[in-house]
Amino acid sequence: MSIAIRIRCNELELAAELNESTTARAIADVLPVEGVVSTWGEEVYFSIPIDAEMDMDARAEMAIGELAFWPPGNAFCIFFGATPASTSDEPAAASPCNPVGHITDDITPLFDIRSGAVIRLEQG
């Protein structure tokens, strides 16, 4: 069963779902959590207080609106377009990461998030 979450940053509020993976459950267990946004192309990421190993289904190729956890940086990642690692308009992570869910709302507001903003994940 997926876990409903909310992503809040400034005036932005998006609905999302975490999947049933071990990493997603670990994320759900620390909610609510806040971080400071970094951007990498059309990806928002920030450190969260979990430590997870690389999952068997870890991959670098992501889908637009996909949520992931990047173990090398303990980072929660939100993909919404091309990144510097992309070879097309689709997102690509710097290295494999654990898919943990997806945005269920329109992703367009993500284009307005800037590095340094405070972002919050909460159950919802």
Dihedral over alpha carbons 27, 110, 34, 123 (to 10 degrees): -50
**Alpha-carbon span 97 to 102, nearest angstrom:** 14
3-state class of 92 per DSSP? strand
pTM of the full predicted structure? 0.96
Mean pLDDT for 1-6 is 92
Name the 3-class secondary structure at 90.
coil
pLDDT of 72 strictly over 80 = yes
Which is nearest to 87 in space by CA: 57, 58, 63, 61?
61
Q: Are 120 and 9 in contact (CB under 8 A)?
A: yes
Q: What pLDDT is attached to residue 1?
A: 77
CATH code at 3-123: 2.40.100.20
Domain ranges of the chain: 3-123
pLDDT, one tens digit per residue, over 80-104 is 999 999 999 999 999 999 999 999 9
Q: What pLDDT, in 10s, does the model give residues 15-69?
A: 999 999 999 999 999 999 999 999 999 999 999 999 999 999 999 999 999 999 9
